Amino acid sequence: MDLLDNTIRPYPWGSITAIADLLGTAPTGEPQAEIWMGSHPGAPSLTARGPLNEVIDADPVRELGPAAVGAFGPRLPFLLKVLAAGAPLSLQVHPDLARAQAGFAAEEAAAVPIDAPHRNYKDANHKPELICALTPFTGLCGFRTSVEAADTIGALGVDSLKPYVDVLRTHPEDAALREVMTALLTADREQMAHTVAEAAAAAAHLGGAHAPYAALAHHYPSDPGVIAAMLLNQVQLQPGEALFLGAGVPHAYLDGLGVEIMANSDNVLRCGLTPKHIDVPELLKVVRFESNEPAVLRPRSLASGEEVYDTPVDEFRLSRFVRSKDDAPTDLTAPTPQILLAVAGRPKTGEVPLSPGTSVFVPAGETNQLSGTGTVFRATVVA
């Protein structure tokens, strides 16, 4: 197996302390947003054999196993992260596989540079993802009912928002959600800045369930995404709880530390809370305008002690082991590639001790046992 040396991404929304606390190191004073574990070419994990993407490229069948290569091709199909949100991330949505393939092909044919700020599709893959809370974790996920959204926005008492409230109360739900989001993202920016300022002041005064919107406006003043966020469900995860995010579901993470796993893709379409490009026509092709109560996932326990977070995708499978006693080792040998991530205690994989925040890559078929005490997440594929 390979002990991984992973990149910490310093995005501005990252927490100053959460990753340092996990690793047991002193804060740098700068935001630390994500630890990347995998073979993503943007920041591949390093091993004693070289960057993990180069290790896999040299012999994909040996490293990933024939089943995974047959199902997903000669690459690790997932990216594992520790995510530490100290400020809200952008409001965003991910395409399904068909839309990603079509959008990528169209932009390639149009010769849009892959690093162009207005490019939507960096690859031809979808990006389902799962976030599992390590600390209390807050976010926004999926549309609430149009009536609930109307009540939330209407309570602000902002005159310029009343037409949106009327649409949400009188039009069919899917049409109402589409119309209001489109109007918010295409409105005159100067007028919208005044509206957001009024809404933020009212939200701060109301407090309670409105307080998060005042906080959003603090980070993103004048951004129409502050109002668009009121169309979404607020979600609070407790440690060990998780949230699966499929295609077309608008979402944003607001605060907390978690383990995130996703299909290996960079395809993100933004809906707000960002200075980056927002392609409204393309967004409207991707977003699913339907209300859904977010399904908070709790792990399913197996006889082996493994706790699995079930999702409807095959590119990744996330589970964890919570070992409170140093009992007999657990056999983790599998025909698929694995990344093991410790988040608590002092467990061991084989003869390699793991401290919180450390991880290893285990090639397909490699004999491997977990021992000691602590909590370890296991990322692999369904193949």
Please give the positions annotated as active site: 270
Give the residue from 40, 47, 69 showing the smallest Cα distance to 364: 69
Write the DSSP string, 55-71: HHHH-HHHHH-HHHHHH
Torsion sign over Cα 305, 311, 314, 316: negative
How many angstroms separate the CA atoms of 168 and 163, rounded?
Answer: 9
Instruction: Collapse the DSSP code of 260 into the 3-class scheme (helix H, G, I; strand E, B; otherwise coil) and give the result.
Output: strand
Largest CA distance in the chain: 66
Nearest alpha carbon to residue 96 among 123, 119, 122, 127: 127
Scan for tokens 């965003």, then name that residue.
92
The answer to whether 68 touches 54, Cβ cutoff 8 Å, is: no
Kindly report the number of other CB atoms within 10 A of residue 328's CB atom: 8
Q: Is 350 exposed, middle or buried (0-12, 13-18, 19+ CB in 10 A)?
A: middle
Interatomic CA distance for residues 263 and 261, integer angstroms: 7
CA atoms of 383 and 378, how far apart (whole Å): 15
SS3 210: helix
| Cα 330 to the center of its chain, rounded Å | 29
Backbone angles phi, psi at 370, to 5 degrees: -105, 130
Show Cβ contacts of residue 268 under 8 Å, excluding neighbours closer than 6 positions. 90, 92, 93, 94, 127
